[in-house]
Structure 1
């Protein structure tokens, strides 16, 4: 008597289910239900709903076993796909029906108003102008520290200066920027 691989054994059970072999279906359930339950539970995140869904999954497997084509896909992959698709169908059914489009009129617009956008543009232009009054290395260090989130150590390394020198650059540059912006 030759031993089948577990995968071939599952494929054989599915093929026998297609012939409506109840003993094969019972064995298939015993060997695969724990795995398929885990798949359904991970998707649905509700144990009682997953328990109900797994029963429906096995009804589908019983009804669709003739659609399994051995060699086309692994039998476990086919079973998992049936379970996964069923669980996803349940999730889709949970979604509320879309409200009337008029509800969208009450949704606030998070975009800045035209006035605020103009103010922000002017403010950016002032900051860019003031950064332009600094030495290029100092302006780029300020951008690196305060816009790109670089550390003082990273900036000191980039500009090959001691750490305390970088701190001095940044402190003095910020003082000059503040003076320029308040002028």
Structure 2
């Protein structure tokens, strides 16, 4: 059963992976596997592909744990970054495995869709949000938390969290044009 993020030492578990402690990788998988799968599924829109991505992500986490640099960011964030990059690379290198509607295919061709550029644009738009609203968006769409979980985590009324999410999504839509 996963622990609360504040009770789980991601950096310590990565250091243990770097020392070859397989139990540390299992701990990381139990703690973050479901959320990493959610991130991959949202990106590739295919459960089997997402499972493959998460599997590959944990291999990269195991093999790359010694190279993790806490000065560049959190251990948990690094794990999510590994997973997102694998999913985006799959989309860029192989195209979507699940068929899109003709409208989406035409729009993507017309726009010259580039997943990496799109990702960078999203990050720029997220940076324009107030920190609390950005945190809500990340908890909802990266971490997979429910509105109630976000409310409890931030100590903010549920209605406020819902309003922040709605306004933030509208702001992101507008920013993305």
Tell me the TM-score normalised to structure 1 length. Answer: 0.47
Higher RCO (C-alpha 8 Å, min separation 6): 2
Structure number with bigger Rg = 1
